[in-house]
Amino acid sequence: MKYLSEKKKTFQEINKENRIKWDKLKFDTQLIRAGEDPYPETSHSLRIPIYATKSYTYSTSSELYKNHYYYSRTENPTLYALDNKLATLHRGESAISVASGMGAVHLACSSVLQRRVERIRPNKITKLLPQSNPENIPNIIIHINQYTGVYRLLTKIYPQMGIEFKRVNLCDLPEVKKAIDDNTKFIFFESPSNPTIDIIDIQKCADLIHEVNGKCIVDNTFASPALQQPLEFGADLVIESLTKYTNGHGDALGGAIIGPKNEILNIRYYWQETQGQVLSPFNAWLILRGIRTLNLRMARHSSNAMTLAEFLEDNPKVTKVLYPGLKSHPAHELAKKQMKNFSGMIGFELESVEASNRFIDLLKLIKVGVSLGDTTSLIEYTSIMTGIDLASWERKAMNISNTHFRFSVGLEDPEDLISDLDQALKQI
Ligand SMILES: Cc1ncc(COP(=O)(O)O)c(C=O)c1O
C-alpha cells in the first residue's frame, strides 16, 4: 500500500521534495543527478525516457485536478528534468527550456516588456492592468557588441513594436548610469560577449538597472553554468543557448531561461504557450546527456584555449588577441572575479583581409564554420559569416574588424591545433 501511495505522487511533488537535497549537493553531482533522480514514472529506468507524446490522458476528474500535464507545448517530463537541472545549476528558483537560444532571448525579453496583463498563475490570466501612459515609451539598453541574431531582434524588430533601444558600451559604467531612465525596462548583455569577448560587470549593471526597477538579463552562453552563475551577481534572468557548451556535442539546438518562479511561469504559460517555441523531447534528452560532462569539458576547453591564446599572442602574424585569461585582456581581473575559468572562446585579428582569406584556405584540421561550444574546434571569419548581414558601419560600431576571427577551441589535443594554426599562419 505504501508503495502504491508513493507512486501516486506527481512528478512535480517528488521533484519538489528532492530539490532541497539537490541544492545541497556539489556542482558535479548536480550535473549528473539534479532533475533526473528519482523519476517515478520511469519504472526504475536509470535514464529519463524521451516522452514522445503530445497529450496526457486521465480517467478521473480527481486525477485531472491533481496533474499539471495536459499538452506538450507547455509540459513534458523529459523537458521538466532538464528545466529542474538547469535551475539547480544556476541556483535559480525555476527554469524553462525552449527551442533555441534565440527563442530564449525573445521569450525572456517579451515577458519583461509585457505591460498590460498582470502576472498570471498557471493556465489562468488573472486580470488586465490599466493601459500605461502612451507618452512613456519603453526603452531597453544593450551592449555595443552581441550575437548578430540578438542584435537584429532588439534593434530591428522590437523598435517596430514600439520599443526603443540604446546601444551603450556597458564596460563604461558611468555611460550606463547616464543611459538608464525611468522607462528603461531592462539591460541586456552577454558576458563574455560574442564575438569580441568583452567582459561586463554583472553586479554593477544589475545594481544600476535595479535603481529604476528594471531587470538585468544576462546571456551566459559563452561561460555556461559551470563557469559563471549570473544570478549570484544580481542578474534577474539568465539566458543559455543550450546549443553551445551546455549540450556540448554539436548535435542539438536548444535554449533556456533561468530566474524567479513567477517570471518563468509567466514565460511558460503566457509566452511559450502562445508562441509555441518548444524544445523537442529528443533534443532535451540529448542535452541532458551532454550536460553531465559539462564541468569536465569546460575545464579542458579553458586550458586548451589558454594554450592557444598564448600561442596566438606570441605569433607576429596575429595583430590582436582577445581572451579573458590573458593578462592583456582589458577586463582580465573582472573575469577572474566573475568566472571560475575563462572558457574556450578566443577573438583574434590578422594583418589584412587578404591574409585572412588565405588563412581560411590554409587551415586543415580546424573546421571553418559558425556556432561554437562543442567538442570540435570551429573558427569563423566574422565579417563574412555571422557578421555578413551587418552594414560596415554596424560592424565598426560593434568593434568587429574586417580581419576578426572568432575561435571556439574544442577538445582536440592542443598540440595538433597549434600545428594547424602554425602551418597556416606561416604561409599567409
Ligand atoms: C551568445 C549567444 N546567444 C544566443 C545565441 C543564439 O542561440 P541559438 O543558436 O541556440 O538560437 C547565440 C548563437 O550563436 C549566441 O552566440
Gap between the Cα atoms of 380 and 388, Å rounded: 11
277 and 261, same domain (yes or no): yes
Looking at the DSSP bridge assignments, the partners of residue 379 are 368, 407
Atom number, ligand 1, closest to the C-alpha of residue 221: 1
pLDDT of residue 7: 47
Nearest CA to ligand 1 atom 8: 101
Q: Tell me which of 413 and 134 has the higher pLDDT.
A: 413
The pLDDT-based confidence of 1 (bands split at 50, 70, 90) is very low
CB-based contact 368:420 (threshold 8 Å):
no
- Site of grid cell 519583461: 112
245 close to ligand 1 (CB < 6 Angstrom): no
Average predicted confidence (pLDDT) for the chain: 91
Radius of gyration of the chain from its Cα atoms, rounded to whole angstroms? 22
110 and 247, same domain (yes or no): yes
240 close to ligand 1 (CB < 6 Angstrom): no
The pLDDT-based confidence of 36 (bands split at 50, 70, 90) is confident
Stretch 311-334: mean pLDDT = 98
The pLDDT-based confidence of 284 (bands split at 50, 70, 90) is very high
Per the structure, the complete domain to which residue 193 belongs is given by: 80-291
- Report the range of poorest mean pLDDT among 6-20, 79-93, 124-138, 222-236: 6-20
253 and 378, same domain (yes or no): no
Nearest CA to ligand 1 atom 16: 147
Nearest CA to ligand 1 atom 9: 101
- Site of grid cell 572562446: 345
Looking at the DSSP bridge assignments, the partners of residue 189 are 218
Sign of CA dihedral 365, 366, 369, 374: positive
DSSP string, 310-370: HHHHH-TTEEEEE-TTSTTSTTHHHHHHH-SS--SEEEEEES-HHHHHHHHHH-SSSEE-S
149 close to ligand 1 (CB < 6 Angstrom): yes
Return the percentage of the chain with pLDDT > 90, whole number: 84
154 DSSP assignment: I
- The total number of structural domains in the chain stands at 2
CB-based contact 95:258 (threshold 8 Å):
yes
328 and 220, same domain (yes or no): no
Gap between the Cα atoms of 130 and 139, Å rounded: 19
* pLDDT tens sequence across 391-414: 999 999 999 999 999 999 999 999
- CATH number for the domain including 387? 3.90.1150.10
Q: From 269, 291, 313, give the residue that closes a domain.
A: 291
By most ligand atoms within 8 Å of CB, the mutation choice from 241, 243, 406 for ligand 1 is 241
The pLDDT-based confidence of 3 (bands split at 50, 70, 90) is very low
Stretch 31-52: mean pLDDT = 81
- Report the range of poorest mean pLDDT among 119-133, 186-200, 399-413: 119-133
305 and 254, same domain (yes or no): no
Distance from residue 327's CA to the centre of ligand 1 (Å): 27
Burial class (CB in 10 A: 0-12, 13-18, 19+), 353: middle
In a domain, 27, yes or no: no
Q: From 291, 310, 337, give the residue that closes a domain.
A: 291
The pLDDT-based confidence of 38 (bands split at 50, 70, 90) is low
Stretch 6-22: mean pLDDT = 57
279 and 210, same domain (yes or no): yes
Q: From 271, 291, 311, give the residue that closes a domain.
A: 291
Stretch 368-375: mean pLDDT = 97
100 close to ligand 1 (CB < 6 Angstrom): yes
Gap between the Cα atoms of 414 and 303, Å rounded: 9
319 and 274, same domain (yes or no): no
203 and 232, same domain (yes or no): yes
255 close to ligand 1 (CB < 6 Angstrom): yes
Please check the confidence at residue 292 and state whether its pLDDT lies above 50: yes
By most ligand atoms within 8 Å of CB, the mutation choice from 97, 102, 191 for ligand 1 is 102
pLDDT of residue 21: 74
128 DSSP assignment: B
* pLDDT tens sequence across 178-192: 999 999 999 999 999
By most ligand atoms within 8 Å of CB, the mutation choice from 199, 200, 244, 382 for ligand 1 is 244
CB-based contact 22:35 (threshold 8 Å):
yes
Burial class (CB in 10 A: 0-12, 13-18, 19+), 371: middle
CB-based contact 415:377 (threshold 8 Å):
no
Long-range own/partner contacts, residues 281-284 (CB < 8 A, 24 or more apart)? 281/50, 281/51, 281/52, 281/72, 281/76, 281/78, 281/79, 282/50, 282/52, 282/252, 283/252, 283/253, 283/254, 284/50, 284/76, 284/78, 284/79, 284/81, 284/82, 284/97, 284/254
pTM: 0.92
Gap between the Cα atoms of 279 and 276, Å rounded: 9
By most ligand atoms within 8 Å of CB, the mutation choice from 194, 278, 371 for ligand 1 is 194
277 close to ligand 1 (CB < 6 Angstrom): no
Gap between the Cα atoms of 406 and 347, Å rounded: 5
Please check the confidence at residue 206 and state whether its pLDDT lies above 80: yes
C-alpha cell at 2: 505504501
151 close to ligand 1 (CB < 6 Angstrom): no
Gap between the Cα atoms of 353 and 349, Å rounded: 10
Distance from residue 318's CA to the centre of ligand 1 (Å): 27
pLDDT of residue 342: 98
Task: Provide the terminal-to-terminal Cα distance of the chain, rounded to the nearest Å.
Answer: 75
114 and 166, same domain (yes or no): yes
Nearest CA to ligand 1 atom 10: 101
The pLDDT-based confidence of 53 (bands split at 50, 70, 90) is very high
270 and 336, same domain (yes or no): no
Short-list 406, 301, 391, 314, CA closest to 360:
406
In a domain, 233, yes or no: yes
In a domain, 5, yes or no: no
